Every structure is written in C-alpha cells, then in structure tokens.
Structure 1
Amino acid sequence: METVAGIDVSKGWLDVCILPCGEAFRVGNDAAGLQALVDRLSGARPDAVALEATGGHERLAAAELAAGGFAVLIVNPAQVRAYARATGRHAKTDLVDATVIADFVRATQPRLRRLRDAQTEALSQLVARRRQIVAMIVAEENRAGQARERGAQKSIRRLLAALRRELDTIDHDIDDHIRKSPLWRVREKLLTSVPGVGPGLARTLIAEMPELGRLDRRAIAALAGLAPWTRQSGKWRGRSFIGGGRAAVRSALFMAAMAAVRHNRVLKAFRDRLVANGKPRKVALIAVMRKLLTILNAIVRDQKPWQTA
C-alpha cells in the first residue's frame, strides 16, 4: 500500500490526510460530509483508507467508504499512538492524528480484511444492546439487595420489569434476524450442538466473529484475544497474559466455558487434567475458552456438528 488516506474520527468531523502527497481536508461526520469524502477520495484513488476505532463513531464512515469500493482498515488507536511516540511525534491534533494514521499503515502494511456487511452489522448492534440491558438488569438486582426504603425498592422493581420487557423485545428482534438468514440458522445450530454452548455465545460469534471457520486455530485465538503473550528479558521470565482482540467474544466465551466444564465431559476432563498438573484454576479456564473456540472454529469450517467419541 503506497497511497493511504488516514482519517481521524470524531463525533462531528472527519479529518483526512492522504500520503504521500500530503493533501489534507476536513468534512462533517454526516451524510453530506461522507458523500463529499467519497467524491474527493475517488480522485485520489488511495490503496487503503484507514480509520481509528473510536467506540462507534467510525462505523458510518467505514460503511460508506466500503460501499464506495474503497479498501477500509480499522486500526487500533493504542498501536497508532505507540507508533507516533516511536517516531518522535508527540503533538496531538486532529490533522496530526490523521497523518500519523496514514503513515502507520504505510509503514506496517497491515493485512486488509473484509468489513462486515450491513446485515451482520445490524445483528452486532442488537447483540451489543442485549449485553448492555443484561448489565443494567444485574446492576439493578444488586441494588435491590441493598435497598431498605420501600420507595427505592418499588422504583427498582419497576425499572427491572421495564428492562426485562426490553430484553424480551431485543431477543425477539435477534430471533427475527437469525431466521431471515439460512446461513445464520445453520451456523447457530452447528454451534449450539456443543454441550455448554447456548444461543448467547452462538449469536455473539455470528455477529462479532464472521471469520469463524476461515482462520486457523492460532489466528482465531488471537482475534478473540486468547493467544497468550509472554514478557521476558535476559534470564527474567514474566508471566504470560491474554488481552486485546474482541472483548465481547472473550466475555461470552468465559461464560460458556464455565458452563462447559459442568456439562461437557470432554472439556471438563481437559480442565481437570490441567488442574491436576498444577495449573491454577483461572489459567485452566482460559485454556478451556481457547479450546472451546478452536472446537467451534473447526465445526464451522467442516460444517459438522459436535460428536462425542
């Protein structure tokens, strides 16, 4: 990738820098601004357009650019800032950020990946909203256990009833999305054939990890943030850690792994063997998460449901 457009995204604006020519401009992060962006980039014809992940503000721009035929990259802001510090660029303005993003992509040449289509993006947002509502329900249930005044208790009960109705509505909407796609229906049936895997994990994987079944076990573990990385220097050996990747997938896998070690005899035996060999229970559970994801990846790849030996 030689010609790259870097875009710094905010709620109201998109600051753009095209390298190596150095052209820079700003457009609004709205329908009119995005159309102007597509028109202007059509003349420059960049090999890639890179945006930082900014908690959702980049989604509309990424979708419009992908629909316009551009190769779109969503880059990790922490990696971009580390690159900026490593190259001695400590100033931080919108234009500087856009320039650094473009320069980062030209220097690192990350692999282009296909963005999610509109249908998958819609399902992803519904699944994310479901997680938010469940978190609110848990928070209110915790408050209910602490409330002593009758008025506060009544307020919590009313809010819990409303949240549970909304959860039912979201579940119904997700069901509708799954039913509309024969591919998703088949995939959900394959995934839930594994003991310990319910609709929650299956639908999270469908929405948040469309690469499932197309990558090898190491790549899919890294995508979920389950590939361990080690800290060491000379004779010093630090502990291994996991992190990064797709947090929503990792959280869903954690809950599924806890169920699997109770209901899936293969994964339970795997966990028990690790613990018997001296592994801490938390480390063993993370290993179960990784093995469960590897199994699900193979099931989707081979299109064969779970089979007990």
Structure 2
Amino acid sequence: MDANLLAILDAQIGHLEQRIKSVFGQEDASAAEARLLLSTPGIGPVSAAMLIAEMPELGRMTSGKAAAMTGLAPIPHDSGAMRGKRAIAGGRRALRHVLFQAALAAACHNPVLKPVAQALKIRGKPHKLFVVAIARRLVTIANVILKSGVLWQTQLSR
C-alpha cells in the first residue's frame, strides 16, 4: 500500500477512537464498563464499544449464554445416532466479527490466552477454530469482568 494511504487510514482510525472515547465520557455507566473492558489485553476501544452497544446484558448472564448470543457457541449437527461436526452459528454477527479481530490481538498479547492459542496451534487445529476458541474465552472474560466489577490486572494477581 501507498505510505500516504496508510497515514490517512491511521489518522481516520485515531479520529474514530477519539470519538468513541468522547461518547464513553458522556455517560458514567458506559464509561465504567469501558474502563473495565479496556483493562483486558486484546480488547481495544472498538471491541469495548461494540460489546457495550451490542450486548447491554453482558455481565448479567452465564458464560454459555454470552457465547451463544455472540454466535461463538458450538452448535451440534446431530440426528439420531449420527454425530455431525460442531459449528458456530447465529448470534450477533457484527459483534462476532469484531471479536474475531480482538481474539487475534489477545492471542498475541493476553498472558492467559496466548498459551491457549499456542497449544491449539501446536495440536494442529485450523486457524478459524483457534480464533473462535479465543474469541469465546474473551467474551467469557468480559462477562466475568463486568459481573465482578474488578479490573483485569486485579483478577490476575489473585
């Protein structure tokens, strides 16, 4: 890509992130939730905003329900004695796509999820499977953080 185009795109991304932060600053409840979510390595301003906007019930449900609502829960394709492959389906599609990107960042920078991602890669799992697995764990972590109201760093030091 052209260096000028990259500079323009970086500037636009920075502008959007600033707008997201200003919206969070206008509402105390959203700002508190955003602060909690942003403490998690792998969750940035865009993914935090999407989680708050698309899943207002996050923090008040089980981890299984949270995974199902994002479309990250494995759905069985079974019939009688036949056992089919499990696949993800349904849920909130736009949120799932944002969580895929957050999962890629978490697989590199989150001290809890990085070893999980490496273990899945070593076992020869397909790329999409490991991204879905990390995204599901990320939703579970976000749900627990919002439920407990405790920042990520504090939870790691227990």
TM-score range, shorter chain: 0.7 to 0.9
Identity of aligned residues (%): 39
Residue 254 (structure 1) aligns with: 100
Q: Which of 122, 140, 147 is matched with 1:294 structurally?
A: 140
Q: Give the whole-Å Cα distance in 1 for the aligned partners of 2:82 and 2:124.
A: 22
State the superposition RMSD in angstroms. Answer: 2.7
**Given the alignment of the two structures, is residue 217 of structure 1 paired with residue 69 of structure 2, yes or no?**
no
3-state DSSP of counterpart to 2:151: coil
Larger relative contact order, structure 1 or 2 (CA cutoff 8 Å, min sep 6): 2
3-state DSSP of counterpart to 2:112: helix
Structure 1, unaligned runs of 5 or more: 1-140, 145-155
TM-superposition CA deviations, 1:92-124 (whole Å, max 9, x none)? xxxxxxxxxxxxxxxxxxxxxxxxxxxxxxxxx
Q: Give the whole-Å Cα distance in 1 for the aligned partners of 2:135 and 2:19.
A: 28
Residue 282 (structure 1) aligns with: 128
TM-score, scaled to structure 1:
0.45
Residue 42 (structure 2) aligns with: 196
3-state DSSP of counterpart to 2:58: coil
TM-score, scaled to structure 2:
0.84
1:207: how far off? Answer: 1.2
1:236: how far off? Answer: 2.9
Change in CA separation of 1:263 and 1:237 when aligned onto 2, cut-off 3 Å: same
- Aligned partner of 1:293: which letter? V
3-state DSSP of counterpart to 1:225: coil
**Given the alignment of the two structures, is residue 186 of structure 1 paired with residue 46 of structure 2, yes or no?**
no
Between Structure 1 and Structure 2, whose CA radius of gyration is higher? 1
* Contact 2:17–2:46, Cα closer than 8 Å, also in 1: no
3-state DSSP of counterpart to 1:204: helix
Structure with the higher helix share, 1 or 2: 2
Displacement over 4 Å in runs of 4+: 164-167
Structure 2, unaligned runs of 5 or more: none
Change in CA separation of 1:178 and 1:278 when aligned onto 2, cut-off 3 Å: same
Structure with the higher strand share, 1 or 2: 1
Change in CA separation of 1:237 and 1:211 when aligned onto 2, cut-off 3 Å: same
3-state DSSP of counterpart to 1:233: coil
